[in-house]
Amino acid sequence: MDLEVCIRLAGRLQIAIEEPVSVDGVSLFVTTSIGFCLCSRSPGSTGGDWMQAASIALMEAEKREPSTIRAF
């Protein structure tokens, strides 16, 4: 997968997650931030390196506005 495809996929996930949910007649709205790292952009060669890079991207997304997507 390339970066463009991953960003589109993350956007589709956001749309699905952020659909309002009705609970006891009350509509609940949530937002989601997504951070990811492509394997090809990982700073190291281990799964731990890959996960750490994705975690950094997520932390950057969470610092911004709600519903933000960030790639490492």
- pLDDT digit of tens for each residue in the chain (72 aa)? 899 999 999 999 999 999 999 999 999 999 999 999 999 999 999 999 999 999 999 999 999 988 999 999
State what percent of residues in the chain have pLDDT above 70: 100
Mean pLDDT over the full length of the chain: 95
- pTM for the structure as a whole: 0.83
Q: What is the dihedral of CA 49, 61, 33, 51, to 10 degrees?
A: 0
